[in-house]
Amino acid sequence: MRPFTHINARTVKQAVTALAQQNGAARLNAGGTDLFGLLKDEYLPAYPDMIVNIKTIAGLNYIKEDKNFLRIGALTRLADISKSSLLRQRYAVLADAAHSVATPQIRNVATLGGNLCQDVRCCYYRYPRHIGGPIQCARKGSGACLAVTGDNRNHAILGGKRCFAVCPSDTAVALTLYDARLLVVGPGGERQIAVGDFYTPLKNGLRSDEMVREIQIPRLPEVPQQTFLKFTLRKPIDFAVVSVAALVSQATGICTEARIALGAVAPGIVRADAAEKFLRGRPLTAETAAQAAELALADARPLSRNAYKINIATALVTRALLGQKECEIPPDEVKAYNPTELSTFHRCSSSTPPGYATVVESGTATP
Amino acid sequence: MSDEYRFIGRSTRRKDATEVVTGATRYVNDLKFAELLHGKVLRSPHPHANLKSIDKSRAEQLPGVKAVLTWEDVPDWKGGTPRITRVLDSKVRYVGDAVALVAATTEDIARQALSLIDVEYELLPAVFDVDAAMQPGAPQLYEQLPGNIVTPGMPAFGPNSLREVVMGDVEQGFGEADVIIEGTFGYENIPNPIPPEPPGAVALWEEPNRVTLWVSNQASYLDTIILHHVFGRKVEVRTHGAACGGSFGTKLLSWQLQSHAVLLSKATGRPVKLIYSKEEHIAAFVLRPGSRMQARVGMKKGGTVTAVSGKWLVDTGFYSMTTQAQVAVGCGEIQLMTRCANWDLQTAVVCTNRNASGGVRGFGGQELKCSFIPLLCQAMEQLDLDPVEFIKKNYVKPGDGYFWRDGAWYTYRGIDYSDSMEQGAQCFGWKENWQGWLQPSSVAGTKRRGVGVGVHGNADIGEDSSEAHVRLNPDGSVLLFSCITEHGTGQRSNYVKMVAEVLQVPMERVSITDADSQINPFEYGPFGSRGTYAIGSAAIRAAEDARRQLFEIIAPRLKARPDELDTADGVVFVTADPDRRTSWRAMGHERTILGYGRFDPDFTLANCMTTFVEVEVDTETGKVDLLRVVNATDVGQIIDPPGLEGQLNGCLGSSGIDSALFEETVLDDRTGHILNANMIDYKWRTFSELPSIDNVVLETPVDSNRFKAIGVGEVATSPGPMAILMAVSNAIGVWLHEYPATPERVLKALGRVKARSHTGGAA
């Protein structure tokens, strides 16, 4: 790490004032889980001169519902979101998406605002400075996107332009499904940005002197069927290869509302408008769900190595629509690692017939 | 079984258990030194370039910087096999290669100084593929290695170091075959075991020619020998092997890092600590060798292999230190698992512009078999052979012979492992689940299950030499001198256990010296699975020698012959009349007894590990889940049940089974950058995703040493990867031959990845 100035902001105004004064050379620190990667790997051309700690701002950690909106403070921790009974009952996709992030340790410090504003995970973009220097690319303002002709297995299949990195936020998928918007504060006042419009290929919609203060979800009149699915190689820790959220309301066997949001397939979160339209007024069956999924990916234009993401996304959309929540999300309580339960040790005699005289040293089962 | 022993075969407390779990164990980074400086390495952004000029003046002026070294500042020290790789060179050969070294009073200052070094590079074309590297006109990494082909043979293994398997008449063999299969298969995902503790060292130079290192390595005595040669045989090297936070073979050697620390200490006269970051550990430390095999195999209906011919290409990255040794051992190991009379297997070790390959658990054999077994599978499929029956039939049997690493022919005098394979198959339920080649064992919707099996074994259990001393003190305590670092396997404790068993004293009464090369006798180190038989034999013999001396001294006092005596708990007594007894104190207060034990290489025994796996594949998403694993082996005699279980459970990570599921080092083959040098993008199994593991361990006495035991710790990783490919192929009904079996590859194999028009700005 290099030296930097560190200040504790007490108010949102103090924080954005500091950002404005530093003119792009300051960074906010909420949970810090994404920021520390930048500070350690120094993958950006410029190193922050100042870190503005916003954990010291009181009153930005809340989940509350009023007549029109469900409001979540930007500093609300992912752990609190995943455990909130209000969200679990009515906005389960957001609770599940928050729960799917990283590990319990990270969810205990990471915030919703930080999850939405985190930088992309592109392996070229994040290449560490200490192994021969950072890699220049379109997102850093010079050169082309290296993923286009390089290793693009995790890159965009939809909507890439100049930069093909995907939006890594899981909670953004849920929020886009709910048509949520961000309340953003800058030196000149507040403005609102729809989460679905927040991400563009080269950056998110936040100016360098702005911060997210609140996330607002239009109140759901009823509790629809809703499902969040995230495909990863490993259950914990990993960022999504593809994530999908779907919401369906039905009356007399016919879809009155259908929404589909896809994450990690594009620079932003993709709402599958054509697929949603297709489903409204139709019955939800395995067949219509599959047709909707085809429609959701109809515009996909894969790069050399990421066409497989279309298959995964198609499968996930179908399953999410049908409410097939088979990707069980592991519980928060991690069982203590007990080496004697990890495996079963069969100490066998070679002189006895196979299958007999098996002495089990630990564990219980033996065939 | 263990009834006859007091300690051997029983679960005993590890000597270092309390220290490890309470955080008291001191690893290299925990050691304190006065006046310590911190070293950092400036690394190349280019895969291949000449250094035209280096301006270090700005870096040198930074307060706190004590030394900045480039190739122009350092002696002509070289490592590698052959010894042609300079510790700092005028040329860089991979992205991450060392350009300059800095020592400073803090890590941050050292890192800042790196950014103040101005380097002008003359770029050279680079090559990242073994076949391309051998082509005429390919970029040349070293003048001394035309065609980038590394000089064959490992000098340490003697002039005939194994570099090929040639015997019998392959044409005749193919003539006898019922099926002949030809193909090229590879294991080229260069996985990295990434032990939790990154490589590191502290060096302290003393003029004119002496250096002491505190190392985090698996074989600290060997470091003194390697570095002595690297330093032109003009420097006296002493090592302290600290506790080593895991190695899995990769920290057998760290000669470059250690040399860099030594150079910085030599330049500053102060101790210098150089510890790699996790990024350096993955992008600039050794990887598993890449393996590609073009081969032809002939097989008869009953599973007899009639001929094997082909070429094995091994990608060693930008230099080789041990790769020829891995080729030699791999060539031996392939014979252990394939009883065949006719061979013509050639090899070549090839340099490419990526970071170097080094030793990794499975040392050559895993790499070769991961490429070879897919070929055998094709033949087995043609002949409808059950792979378990094939393995049982083809694994080395008593009386068989093989060429081992020194090129000599050895006759195997160990046991037949069929029994362990059979009991493993029973535990797994192989017969119930095996439905034939490319047949799933069950199908439920989009989920298809498949089973696979792999085998591996090594005659390295008796390789190389070990020495030990055992000192008996009059108070009944014992000190074992053995230059062994504790790299996580618990072996230091096990040698104490062996000595305690020989001398019949409580383990608490036996201590073991620190791994200091100056006070301990020669020790090659815990390579492969040599710990139990090779290192253990030295400790056992030293204890037996000390015991013999003790009896000679005490016999006159008990008016008995030495061979009539026995000892337990610090008391010597007449075996036939235990009341005639005296304590060890009778040796005299002003005396210690020093026993000596030595082990010389023995390549006539081999171990064996058979691994059965069951996977579930989602045919819509391509996701492969590992459901369960059964490892089956025979170790002669278990020394320490929990230690052995831990080693066998290591089958998953450390580039074992998981190197066929998701572990891979991602190298950009245009730029030479390693793109996943972090623990998010390098996929390492987490503790919350462990499959069911059953370890089936037989104890058929082996004619090895006093305890009839052999080691098996290394080989747990090796049969798994090929078993996974077999299981996935069976589950999805089509062959999948590339490691790892990612969703991308599974879906492609299934023909489900749709070709789309590449428009919209995408390539």
Interval A46-70 mean pLDDT: 97
Verify that B299 and B370 share a domain, yes or no: yes
What is the reported pLDDT for A356?
37
Tell me the chain B residues in contact with residue A124 when contact means C-beta distances shorter than 8 Å: 673, 675
Q: Do B474 and B454 share a structural domain?
A: no
Residue B451 and residue B304 in one domain? yes
Q: How far is A289 from chain B (nearest CA, A)?
A: 15
**What's the gap in Å between the CA of B485 and the closest CA on chain A?**
23
Contacts of B43 in chain A (CB under 8 A): 130-132
The CATH number of the domain holding residue B213 is 3.90.1170.50
Indicate if B587 and B622 belong to the same structural domain: no
Q: Are residues B472 and B592 in the same domain?
A: yes
Which residue intervals of B395-530 are DSSP H helices? 418-428, 430-433, 491-503, 530
Does residue A364 register a pLDDT over 50? no
- pLDDT over threshold 60, residue B394: yes
pLDDT, tens digit (0-9, with 9 covering 90-100), for A261-310: 999 999 999 999 999 999 999 999 999 999 999 999 999 999 999 999 99
The verdict on residue B140 lying in a domain is: no
CA atoms within 13 A on the CB side of B225: 12
Q: Which residue of A has its CA nearest to B694?
A: A344
A188 CB contacts (<8 Å, ≥6 apart)?
none
Tell me how crowded residue B280 is: count the other CB atoms within 10 A of its CB. Answer: 23
Name the amino acid, one letter, at A211.
Answer: M
Which of B233, B255, B283 finishes a domain?
Answer: B283
B637-663 pLDDT, tens digit per residue, is: 999 999 999 999 999 988 999 999 999
Name the band, by pLDDT with cuts 50, 70 and 90, for residue A325.
Answer: confident
Q: Which residue of B has its CA nearest to A121?
A: B681
Is B763's pLDDT higher than 60? no
- Optimal mutation site among A127, A243, A366, interface B, most CBs of chain B within 10 A: A127
For residue B48, the chain A residues in CB contact (below 8 A) are: none
The three-state secondary structure class of A173 is helix
Q: Are residues B213 and B264 in the same domain?
A: yes
List strand residue ranges (DSSP E) for B473-521, in order: 478-481, 510-512, 515-516
Nearest to B676 among A123, A307, A342 (CB): A123
CATH of the domain at B18: 3.30.365.10
Q: Which two tokens stand for residue A35?
A: 């920021």
Mean pLDDT computed over every residue of chain B: 96
Q: Is residue B177 part of a domain?
A: no
> What is the pLDDT averaged over residues B221-239?
97
Q: Is residue B186 part of a domain?
A: no
**Between residues 258 and 287 of chain A, which touch chain B (CB distance below 8 Å)?**
none
Amino acid, single-letter form, for residue B738: E
Is B411 inside a domain boundary?
Answer: yes
Which amino acid does the sequence have at B443? Answer: V
Amino acid, single-letter form, for residue B668: D
**Dist CA A225 CA A258 (whole Å):** 10
Cα–Cα distance measured from residue B142 to residue B146, given in angstroms and rounded to the nearest whole number? 7
**pLDDT for position A349:** 81
Q: Check pLDDT > 90 for residue A340.
A: no
A215 φ/ψ angles, rounded to the nearest 5 degrees: -115, 130
Radius of gyration, alpha carbons of chain A:
23
Asked whether residue B628 is domain-assigned, the answer is yes
| Distances, alpha carbon B581 to alpha carbons A205, B172, B434, B543, B574, in Å | 88, 70, 62, 20, 7
**Which pLDDT value is given to residue A343?**
87
Given B567, B599, B631, the domain boundary residue is B599
Option in A148, A314, A346 nearest B697 (CB): A346
B687 and chain A: CB distance < 8 Å anywhere? yes
For residues B233-254, give the mean pLDDT. 95
Q: How close A115 comes to chain B (CA, Å)?
A: 16
Residue B136 falls inside a structural domain: no
Residue contact A130–B280, C-beta within 8 A? yes
Interface of A with B in 103-122 (CB under 8 A): 121
**Domain range for B100:** 32-122+193-283
Where are the domains positioned within chain A?
Answer: 5-321, 338-367
Q: Do B747 and A149 touch (CB under 8 A)?
A: no
CA distance B250 to chain A (A): 20
Instruction: Compare all CA atoms of chain A with the CA of B682 and give the residue at the minimum distance.
Output: A238
A47 interaction partners in chain B (CB closer than 8 Å): none
Structural element, H or E, at residue B292: strand B290-299
Residue to mutate among B42, B648, B696, B732, with most A CBs inside 10 A, is B696
Please tell me if residue A308 touches chain B, with a CB cutoff of 8 Å.
Answer: yes
Q: Is A338 on the interface with B (CB under 8 A)?
A: no
Same domain membership, residue B372 and residue B444:
yes
Domain boundary among B283, B299, B316: B283
Interface confidence (ipTM) of the complex:
0.95
pLDDT per residue as tens digits for the range A172-221: 999 999 999 999 999 999 999 999 999 999 999 999 999 999 999 999 98
Q: Are residues B440 and B545 in the same domain?
A: no
Chain B stretch 628-657, residues whose beta carbon is closer than 8 A to a beta carbon of chain A: 634, 638, 641-642, 645-646, 648-649
The conformation of residue B532, written as its DSSP 8-state character, comes to I
* CATH class of the domain at A5-321: alpha beta
Q: Which residue do the tokens 């592991």 mark? A: A330
Domain co-membership, B254 together with B266: yes
Same domain, B567 and B630: no
Question: What is the per-residue pLDDT across B656-705, written as a single tens digit (0 to 9) for each?
Answer: 999 999 999 999 999 999 999 999 999 999 988 999 999 999 999 999 99
**Interior/surface letters B261-275, b for 16+ CB within 10 angstroms, e for the rest:** bbbbbbbbebbbbbb
- Cα B200 to Cα B28: distance, rounded to the nearest angstrom: 7
Q: What is the pLDDT of residue B453?
A: 98
- Residue B329 in domain: yes
Query: Do B17 and B37 fall into the same domain?
Result: no
**pLDDT for the residue A235:** 87
Cβ neighbourhood burial of B691 (10 Å; 0-12, 13-18, 19+): middle
Question: Measured between alpha carbons, how far is B465 from B604 in angstroms, rounded to an integer?
Answer: 15
- Residue A46 has phi, psi (to 5 degrees) of -110, 145
How much is the pLDDT for B242? Answer: 87
- The tens digit of pLDDT for each residue in B488-547 reads 999 999 999 999 999 999 999 999 999 999 999 999 999 999 999 999 999 999 999 999
Give A337's pLDDT tier (boundaries 50, 70, 90): low
Q: In the A/B pair of chains, how many CB contacts fall below 8 A?
A: 209
B145 located within any domain: no
Specify which residues B210 forms β-bridges with: B206, B236
pLDDT per residue as tens digits for the range A32-44: 999 999 999 999 9
Residues B434 and B352 in one domain: yes
What is the pTM for the complete model shown? 0.96
Count of domains observed in chain B: 3
